[in-house]
Structure 1
């Protein structure tokens, strides 16, 4: 068992989500930065979809009843085990009774803490992920929660995985549409001309941006239609929202562009107050 001593600003259990249920109105959810999540599991010999903890802005502490192996990836947060500093992106041993603490990341937003064997939480609709929009899955972690650990099935075969630093001002590639024709002809140029600032209203549902407004040429309402992760939806304010893991399955505002799938993990690491740029893909 792992005891949550301190959850930090937000800690949730995540795996790779609930794909295949969007036609029933069930969002996929899952790890916001899927690339970092998969890496944490692979470092420990876990299956890619083994449940782990997703931390927002670190500040968490966990007590391990038994000896274990962990890996920390994503936003680079200071890591100590029993008061001793350890590095990220590498398997780390935790002794029985050991206290694992993570500080504030130096950059980025979301840090992943995986344990060998994965977290053995009861699945809901085939997933152990916390979905903050729909309320499916376990609730956000709180002090005193106890997390069961599953049985390890794979071997640890690497010592460390070199990972480059997160960019200070990410540039996200976009594909136009499907509703770019609802906007002025220069809308993509406007979107890519200058950086946007990430606002404090951002969360796992979406990254809200402040900057140049995207002007519509077509008035009226848009019927609700399917939404995908990475969609840039534009509400009446004209300021785009990047949909992340907990986004709704449908929406009624036009989508001006969609992120390249491989850039979604970068969007998941955008911190409020930071800046981001867009450029056309290809």
Structure 2
């Protein structure tokens, strides 16, 4: 379990993380979502002792990261896939990690196979890795000690569609076995697919949290896309009920929930060929919630 309590981190007059609190539960994937510069990476750096908090604290399994003996056996971390010696091979990087954690050499082969890095790729130096290969190696390193907690910052960067699907399955399986996963990203659609719970952050503040259904239930926008055999008749019937109607492609966009559109169509005996929500889902909700908190630039020296 990860417990973040009143976490604040300031850089002079700039507040990168502002009184953030949340809990990541075992057996669940928690998505940490926000635009660039929202405070995701700073929060994660505090979690693993790389950045001291100004106020508040983060505990993992009830302990500060710095107090956990042999932390790689308990917490797997991927914050920057390029943060390894560029002159070392992938196998060397994992071997050093295994030796540091007191793991057998066979664990290196297991992890290389898990992330689908071949023997030839494992012998290449990190400087010759693509970004996707670096991400796979970083995930292998994070999983090396068979930890109970994973903290991953933008792990899908550089992965192709097949790699992203592979990563989703890997992390979901890890959580299903009881692991705790905190996954940060600005790729809202990918997190929406895998996450059991989502935490939305903008300008260092939590703006919403919950599962997808809970978040969307709190959205103030509701619209419907509908197509029928007689669009003009349907539009007139909907407008007579006081609903705003505008053309949309081959059909109509109606500013009301789909169930209300269906009810009107049934009353008028109008045949519908398409009926679905017109809201953009989590992405639109996030942009709505962070519209006044997103920023374009960061003060020099302040991490995202």
Alignment TM-score > 0.5, same fold: no
TM-score normalized by the length of structure 2: 0.24
TM-score normalized by the length of structure 1: 0.26
Larger CA Rg, structure 1 vs 2: 2
